[in-house]
Structure 1
Amino acid sequence: MTPDKKCRSEGDALAQARIAADSASGPKLKIAYESVIKLIGQQDTTLANLRNRATALFTVAALIATFASNIGFIVKDGQPPLGYLIAMMASLIAVLVCALMVLWPVRDWSYAAAHPIGVLLEEEEPGKEEESLHRGIVRGHLEPVMDNGQILKRKFDWFQYGVIALGVEVAAVLAGAMAART
């Protein structure tokens, strides 16, 4: 899917969700309200867990590089093969960059509706105040939930690139050890 089509489909999904929120009955609206509040919390937890994994990923990559180069895992006597050390260090740097992209602070992260005051002050139908409030909160959270989802997707992509770079580092260490033994 092209980025342009993806943006349109996300915009369509947001528009459809707003229409659904406008026409939802009281019980559906209450479930949607509880779901959107829970989803915002889950997104925050997912971001924290992803950051913990990125930290662990870099720690493992650094430990591999340390043990391989300083303790003589690659070669016990003499110098390790230079090409393999360069590949190992380049992949370690790639892991660091990927981990930093995951760990970098998020400027546009949303924890709540974009305009909470406006949601609370929306015009209510007499006798349906709770429904109006739930409807406003659900509508207000739709865009932040989608925006947070995009941020998480980008961070997951960087994490995956870091895992691949870690695999390259391990391959470089093993290849260097095998080349040094021959």
Structure 2
Amino acid sequence: MGGSGDTGADAVADGSERYKLAYDAAVHALSQQDGTLGNLRNRATGLVTIATVIGSFTGFFGVGTKDNPLPAGYAAGLIVFIVLIVAICMFVLMPKKGWAFGPDARDIIDSKYSSSTGELHWSQALGMQKSISDNELEIRKRAKAYAWAVVLLGLEAVYAVTVSLLSR
């Protein structure tokens, strides 16, 4: 007679469904984060490739020749750009200890919560929510680092063109 008309079993089923929905949403969010990180890492790898190609072509094929090599100071500048870009991209590429992108199987097996009442989904959703928040902060850091590497790549390209013009 609580006014809602729900029996105890209905209330448990409703809570169980909400917990399952929260669990599924958390799994989906972590999967998206994993994809975002993978895409960021792929782009960072491409950035390293582009930076080294610019440096190689400028230093060996674009400007420097056997008879007229690239001046050492200009070559050193290209090397500095490449080293900085590679270092920043390594930060993006390196794994981080403790990252989680899904439910923890060991935690599920060892859990004291019941799956029939939805408590297990509830506890896992809470744990994954913490991972989502922690991952988001780290992904943002790595995205900012990647953005700086893109800026450096642009500066490297400008430097390469400038070196080409000045060394003629």
Both structures adopt the same fold (TM-score exceeding 0.5)? yes
Asked whether the equivalents of residues 113 and 141 of structure 1 are also in contact (C-alpha less than 8 Å), the reply is yes
Q: Which of 70, 74, 80 pairs up with 1:80?
A: 70
State the percentage of identical aligned residues: 25
Partner of 1:42: 32
Partner of 1:143: 130
Runs of 5+ in structure 1 lacking a partner?
Answer: 1-23
Alignment CA distance shift 1:117-1:31 (3 Å): closer
- Following superposition of structure 1 onto structure 2, how do residues 15-164 of structure 1 map, counting pairs within 5 Å? 25-71=15-61, 73-74=62-63, 78-113=68-103, 116-117=107-108, 120-122=111-113, 129-164=116-151
Runs of 5+ in structure 2 lacking a partner?
Answer: 1-13
Secondary structure at 1:129 match in 2 = coil
Asked whether the equivalents of residues 84 and 175 of structure 1 are also in contact (C-alpha less than 8 Å), the reply is no
**Under a length normalisation based on structure 2, what TM-score does the superposition of the two structures give?**
0.78
The answer to whether 1:171 aligns with 2:161 is: no
Structure-1 separation of matches of 2:145 and 2:60: 29
Q: Shift in Å at residue 113 of structure 1? A: 4.7
Report the aligned-residue RMSD.
2.5
Partner of 1:3: none
Q: Deviations over 1:87-109 (max 9, x none)?
A: 22111110110111111122121
Q: Shift in Å at residue 26 of structure 1? A: 4.9
**Under a length normalisation based on structure 1, what TM-score does the superposition of the two structures give?**
0.72
For these two proteins, the number of residue pairs brought into alignment is 153
Larger Rg computed on CA atoms: 2
Structure-1 separation of matches of 2:28 and 2:90: 28
Alignment CA distance shift 1:130-1:119 (3 Å): farther
Structure-2 separation of matches of 1:83 and 1:130: 70
Letter in 2 for 1:173: A
